[in-house]
Structure formats: C-alpha cells, structure tokens
A and B are shown apart, each in its own frame.
Chain A
Amino acid sequence: MAADALNDTQAREPTFYLVEDEHHHEAGGSTLLGFWIYLMSDALIFATLFATFGVLSTAYAGGPIPREIFSLPLVALNTAILLVSSITYGFAMIAMQEGRLGGTKLWLIVTGLLGAAFVGIELFEFAELIHEGATPQRSAFLSAFFTLVATHGLHVTFGIIWLVVMLFQLNQRGLHPENQRRLQCLSMFWHFLDVVWIGVFTFVYLLGVLR
C-alpha cells in the first residue's frame, strides 16, 4: 500500500515537470517579457543621458543657447510624424490580429516611411546646427544635446531596419506565430521610442526654449 503510494507519487512527479516544461515552451511570451526587460534597461541608458543633459543643459561655454538654435516648428513636425507613426503601427498590429497580411504590410510600410521622414528631418536639423557652428564640440550643452537626441535617432534607425527585415519575413513566410511575436516585440520597441521622444521634446526642446 505504502509502496504503491510512493510509486504513485513517483509516477505523478515526472508528469508535473512535464507540465512545467510544456508551459515554458508554449508560453513563448517569455520572449515578450524578456524583450520588455531589455526595453527597461534601454530606458536606463536614456535616463543617464537625460541626467547628463540636465546637468549640462546650461553649460553654454559662451556658445549658442537653445532659443537661438532650436526651431520649434520643425520639432513640432517631427513630433507629429512620430506620433502618427505610433498609431499606424497600432493599426498594423490590429491587422495582424485579424490575420490580414496585406493590411499588416501596408501599415508597416506607412510606419517605416514616417520613421524615415523623422530620421531625415532630424538629420536635416543636425546639419543646419553644424552649419551654424553649433557642433557637438562647441559646448557641453551641445555635446549632451547631440548625444541624447542622436541616440534616440539611432534607435529609430535600427527600428526601421528591423521593420524592413520584418517586411521581407512577412513576404516570404506570412503571419506565422514567430513573425507575430517578432512584430509584437517591434511594436513595443517602436512605442517605447515614442515615449522617450516625449521626454526629449519636453525637457530638451520646450524647456530649453523657455530658459
């Protein structure tokens, strides 16, 4: 009887682990959580850059001040572009959930073009600044500004590259579960960059011009 019970538990034990294993496998969402943890660590990188900018934001070294060099209409345009790209990505995710491959690709392309416009305008802004002599070497304020804003721009650039790769993936393989998971990760990445941009336009541009 006792031995029977022991056997019974032993027999049940592996089943328990099997269930655990299966759970890990089918969760697949551990990728999403892992990617989320990466985004949170990325947020810390931006936090240090924001802190550096905050400390150095008035270290002009006799150079240009924000009010002289920042063009708010341009920043407003860029903000609008990024904001619209957020909702177009959202529409891509909805199309993905409804299993519409064409719609997903279309909205992804729109998002990618908006992202490219954002990076393009940012590069134009940088070129203008450097042309006016407001280079990263000019003052600590400008070094911190270029580091923070360019790090964000670089993230957007990599987001666009990822997006283009996903378009190829979708073309070849369609909306299989792996691609859906990848698109969800990219969705988090894209929306996260929009959140960082809220900090940039508020603390760098708007508060800078107010000073």
Chain B
Amino acid sequence: MTDATHDAAHGHGAPHASRRTYVIGFLLSVVLTAVPFWLVMTATLDATTTGVLIVAAAIVQILVHTVCFLHVNTQSEGGWTLMAYIFTAVLVLIVIAGSLWIMFHLNTNMMPMVDARSS
C-alpha cells in the first residue's frame, strides 16, 4: 500500500513528462490557436458561427494543455489533482455562467433607467 502511494506520488513528475507528450500537445495547441485567430482575422464565416467555433477550440485547447502540459490524470497524487481540477472547473463555471446570467437579467430590468439617463 505504501509502495503504491509512493509510486503514485513519484509518478506525478518523472514518467509522465515525455518529449512525445509535449510535442503532441504543442502541435495540437498550435492548430487550436491558429484556426480561431484565422477565423476572426479573415472573417471567413459569420460572427455567430465563428464565436461558437472559437469557444469550442478554447475548451478543447484547455483540455489539451491540462493533459499534455499539466499532466493531470487519474493516477497523479492518487487522483487528487484530478478531483481538485474537476471541483475547480465546476466552481469556475458556476461563477462565470452564474454572474453572466444574473447580471444579464438585472441589466434587462434596468434598461428603462439606462435609457432615461442617456437621453
């Protein structure tokens, strides 16, 4: 048991960081960065489609970085890094989506006042 824990703790650094993982992660990130920039700078598609695509690319790229560069997996630290990561991701989503949702409705309700002030 101690051996397993020891191995897991050790496993966090050494065996996972291979040159191959880094290069694969880097190539994927280059594509996932270049495509959104290209879409926006050339305005090939309409704004809504572009918006959806670049947000999707960002989410995929964050996952690529997490796996290839940060080496988060089910083994590292006995799974605790992954648990903390998922927990944080949920909190981040709640904070951002919740704020946008609530403030959007508040803004809508405040509209008449904004109009009154600007006119």
- Which residues of A does B touch, CB under 8 Å? 19, 22-23, 26-30, 32-33, 36-37, 40, 43-44, 47-48, 50-52, 54-55, 72-73, 75-76, 79-80, 83, 86-87, 90-91, 93-94, 97, 180, 184, 188, 191-192, 194-195, 198-199, 201-203, 206-207, 209-210
Contacts of A188 in B (CB 8 A): 70
Contact B41 A72 (CB under 8 A): yes
Q: B111 near A: Cβ within 8 Å?
A: no
- Which chain B residue has the least Cβ–Cβ distance from A190? B69
User: Which residues in window 1-36 of B have CB below 8 A to A?
Assistant: 2, 5-6, 9-10, 12-14, 17-19, 22-23, 25-26, 29-30, 33, 36
Contact B36 A40 (CB under 8 A): no
Instruction: Decide yes or no: A191 and B22 within 8 Å by CB, A40-B85, A206-B36 being known contacts.
Output: no
Interface majority SS (helix, strand, loop, mixed), chain B:
helix
Distance between Cα atoms of A180 and B2 in the complex (Å): 22
Instruction: Decide yes or no: A29 and B77 within 8 Å by CB, A23-B6, A97-B14, A195-B65 being known contacts.
Output: yes
Contacts of A44 in B (CB 8 A): 88, 91-92, 95
Select which of A47, A51, A202 is within 8 A of B36 by beta carbon. A202
Interface majority SS (helix, strand, loop, mixed), chain A:
helix
Contact A79 B30 (CB under 8 A): no
Select which of B10, B47, B91 is within 8 A of A210 by beta carbon. B47
Contact A51 B96 (CB under 8 A): yes
Contact B81 A33 (CB under 8 A): yes
Contacts of A97 in B (CB 8 A): 13-14, 17
- Which residues of B does A touch, CB under 8 Å? 2, 5-6, 9-10, 12-14, 17-19, 22-23, 25-26, 29-30, 33, 36-37, 40-41, 47, 50-51, 54-55, 57-58, 61-62, 65-66, 69-70, 77, 80-81, 84-85, 87-88, 91-92, 95-96, 98-100, 103
Contacts of A73 in B (CB 8 A): 41
Contact A206 B37 (CB under 8 A): yes
Q: How many pairs, one residue from A and one from B, have CB atoms within 8 Å of each other in the complex?
A: 135
Contacts of B81 in A (CB 8 A): 33, 36
Contact A37 B84 (CB under 8 A): yes
How far does the Cβ of B115 sit from chain A's closest Cβ, in whole Å?
15
The 3 closest A-B pairs by CB, nearest first: A29-B9, A90-B22, A51-B99
Contact A47 B9 (CB under 8 A): no
Instruction: Decide yes or no: A191 and B65 within 8 Å by CB, A36-B84, A210-B50 being known contacts.
Output: yes
Contact B12 A79 (CB under 8 A): no
Distance between Cα atoms of A188 and B66 in the complex (Å): 10
- Which chain B residue has the least Cβ–Cβ distance from A29? B9
- Which chain B residue has the least Cβ–Cβ distance from A83? B29
Select which of A30, A47, A94, A198 is within 8 A of B58 by beta carbon. A198
Contacts of B33 in A (CB 8 A): 79-80, 83, 198, 201
Instruction: Decide yes or no: A55 and B41 within 8 Å by CB, A32-B77, A40-B85, A83-B26 being known contacts.
Output: no
